[in-house]
Amino acid sequence: MEEKNLTMPLLGDDFPAIEVQTTHGKMSIPGDFKGTWFVLFSHPADFTPVCTTEFVAFQKRFEEFGKLGCKLIGMSIDQIFSHIKWVEWIKEKLEIEIKFPIIAANDAIALKLGMLHPGKGASTVRAVFIVDPSSKVRLIMYYPQEVGRNMDEVVRAVKVLQIADKQGAVAAGWPNNELIGDRIIVPPPKDEKSVKERLADKSLDCYDWWFCHKPLQK
């Protein structure tokens, strides 16, 4: 595989349109998810230990994602019968029912999404795409095959994107930032007049005019 064939969507791009076969039937992505948030995540292979722990972890948070109006979609280049058998195995052996669809991708789809990296063999890397209701790519994470993901961080990422869209910037480690906790950062003013107005605004707490914060609206 030549490295020049590797492509990937960038932040703010429309999620690439793909027609896929999944464990829940044929789907058009992102078309079938228009108007909702979704997380599409790839895994290297079915019937592997790290991937199994990840799928269980995602399913454990399935309802939490649902409360955020966010759907889950798994994906690898394994064939559909392998996905189905693996889901059956997880239910039988681990007593966990996987409720989200899993895409049976081919190399063309995986390359289109930047999931096949020349230096990491023929399996898809652990990619995560968070896509908003307008089908825009909002966040991308890539992990190597040997490192399992932190699903709480994926949940947190969806939450902070939704909050940022409505209220302002979100600090590192939200909601437990070392400086301002779960408060929201107010965008810095862009001219001298706004600087003076900012300093006079008693509704805000400021370290300086360029670093002000306000309570989270719940």
What does the pLDDT look like over 99-126, one tens digit per residue? 999 999 877 887 778 776 665 555 667 8
The whole-chain average pLDDT of the chain stands at 90
Please compute the mean of the pLDDT values over residues 172-189 and round it to a whole number: 95
Look at residue 182 and tell me whether its pLDDT is greater than 90.
Answer: yes
**Between 203 and 116, where is the model more confident?**
203
Q: Do residues 100 and 58 lie in contact, with contact meaning Cβ atoms separated by under 8 Å?
A: yes
Question: What confidence tier does 147 reach under pLDDT thresholds 50, 70, 90?
Answer: confident
Q: Do 89 and 180 reside in the same domain of the chain?
A: no
pLDDT for 107 equals: 74
**Res 82 pLDDT > 80:** yes
Interhelix angle for 49-60 vs 80-94, to 10°?
A: 70
Task: Note down the domain range covering 188.
Answer: 169-214
Give the mean pLDDT of 22-27: 96
Q: Which domain CATH number covers 111? A: 3.40.30.10
Among 110, 111, 112, 90, smallest CA distance to 99 is for: 90
Amino acid 123: pLDDT: 62
Output the pTM of the full model: 0.90
183 and 85: one domain? no
Does residue 122 lie within any of the structural domains?
A: yes
pLDDT-derived band at 29, boundaries 50, 70, 90: very high
Both 141 and 174 in a single domain?
no
Domain co-membership, 24 together with 123: yes
Residues 116, 203, single domain; the answer is no
Residue predicted with more confidence, 29 or 122: 29
For residue 101, the one-letter residue type is P
Confidence of residue 5 (pLDDT cuts 50, 70, 90): low
> 51 catalytic, yes or no?
yes
Write the CB contacts of 55 (distance below 8 Å, at least 6 apart in sequence).
Answer: 43, 74, 90, 98
Q: Are residues 12 and 106 in the same domain?
A: yes
Residue 9 has what pLDDT?
86
Which pLDDT does position 1 carry in this prediction?
Answer: 37
The percentage of residues in the chain with a pLDDT greater than 90, rounded to a whole number, is 75
pLDDT digit string (tens) for 36-64? 999 999 888 899 999 999 999 999 999 99
**Helical (H) or strand (E) element with 151:** helix 151-166
Sheet with 70-76: list strands edge to edge: 25-29, 18-22, 102-104, 70-76, 37-42, 126-131, 137-143
**Would the pLDDT of 155 be above 70?**
yes
Q: Which of 51, 70, 206, 212 is catalytic?
A: 51
170 has a pLDDT exceeding 80: yes
Q: Are residues 140 and 180 in the same domain?
A: no
How many domains does the chain divide into? 2
